[in-house]
Amino acid sequence: MNKIRSLLIAGALVPAVALGACEDEKTAQAPSAPPPAPEAPAQPAPPEKPAAETAKEGLDKLREAAEKAAKDLQPTLDKARDAANQALKDAQPAIDEARKAAEQLGASVGEIVKNAQDDFKQATENLEKRLNELQGGRPVVSGDPAAVLSPPEKLRTDTRAAAKAAAAGVGPAYVGVWAVQASDCAKVDQEALEIFAVITPTTIRRYESMCNMPETPLTKDGATVDAECVAEGDVGMQTLLFSLPSPDSLTISGSEGAGVNLVRCHLPG
């Protein structure tokens, strides 16, 4: 019995020894694990850029962006410049007129008024001279016998010329001496009258104003004239409309539309 137990124990030990030997062989054959690699030394952080350099880089980028935007917009800018140049060219005549007006305004008001007065005087004197040189002429226009002016030697040059022109048929039919009523005719150039008109082909004088104007034909609708007037020391343009309901009555209207009715005055017979 003891012999059998000994054999069993021996049989069990043999595999165990063999297994242990096998494990030792595997251990001997297995490669050993490599040692861990040494850690790389930490790299120092790059130094920060100076603030001035950073700002310069930012400005360079902004400049590049602006240059690109300007380049992209150039065709549009060219069109805008061309349009502005064309507009200036189209406006040049008006600019020239404005410059002339400014130059005229640069002169003294007294000089402008004097020039207008001289033109007025010259026009009436020339008209009277022409009328005096006329041989014959139409008869005096008939009208209200009470609508008589003072004797010629007491009248101003333009009054004599206007009355003579009307009598001789010189100029449009609105030429003449006009007053609100017949009794006022004797007061022209003698007393202050607020409403009257002395009209030659190229001049008109009314209360505290006298104007130079182009001779304008009279049609069935009347005549519209643009007059350069001197009034109370100022020079300005006025638009006047003349209409004759009859040969011896005249209506003068301004740009505001209001009109005044006048009767024709005559030189003494």
Please report the pLDDT score of residue 129 as a whole number: 73
Q: Give mean pLDDT, residues 42-51.
A: 58
Please report the pLDDT score of residue 3 as a whole number: 45
- Higher-confidence residue of 79 and 27: namely 79
Q: 72 burial class (0-12, 13-18, 19+ CB within 10 angstroms)?
A: exposed
Residue 212 β-bridge partners: 203, 228
In Å, how far are 18, 72, 126, 174, 238 from 199, measured between CA atoms?
Answer: 156, 68, 14, 7, 15
Q: For residue 81, is pLDDT > 80?
A: no
Residue type, 189: D
Q: 3 burial class (0-12, 13-18, 19+ CB within 10 angstroms)?
A: exposed
Rounded Cα–Cα distance for residues 173 and 60 (Å): 83
- Higher-confidence residue of 184 and 4: namely 184
Please report the pLDDT score of residue 151 as a whole number: 95
Asked if 60 contacts 52 with a C-beta cutoff of 8 angstroms, the reply is no
Please report the pLDDT score of residue 33 as a whole number: 52
In Å, how far are 5, 38, 49 from 43, measured between CA atoms?
Answer: 72, 15, 18
Asked if 185 contacts 204 with a C-beta cutoff of 8 angstroms, the reply is no
Q: For residue 10, is pLDDT > 70?
A: no
From first CA to last CA, the distance across the chain in angstroms is 196
Predicted TM-score (pTM) of the model is 0.55
Q: What sections of 148-246 are H helices per DSSP?
A: 157-168
Q: For residue 154, is pLDDT > 80?
A: yes
In the block, which residue shows the tokens 């209360």?
207
Query: In which band, very low, low, confident or very high, does the pLDDT at 233 lie, cut at 50, 70 and 90?
Result: confident
- At 91-129, the pLDDT tens digits run 556 556 555 555 555 556 667 677 777 777 777 777 777
Query: In which band, very low, low, confident or very high, does the pLDDT at 257 lie, cut at 50, 70 and 90?
Result: low
Asked if 265 contacts 176 with a C-beta cutoff of 8 angstroms, the reply is yes
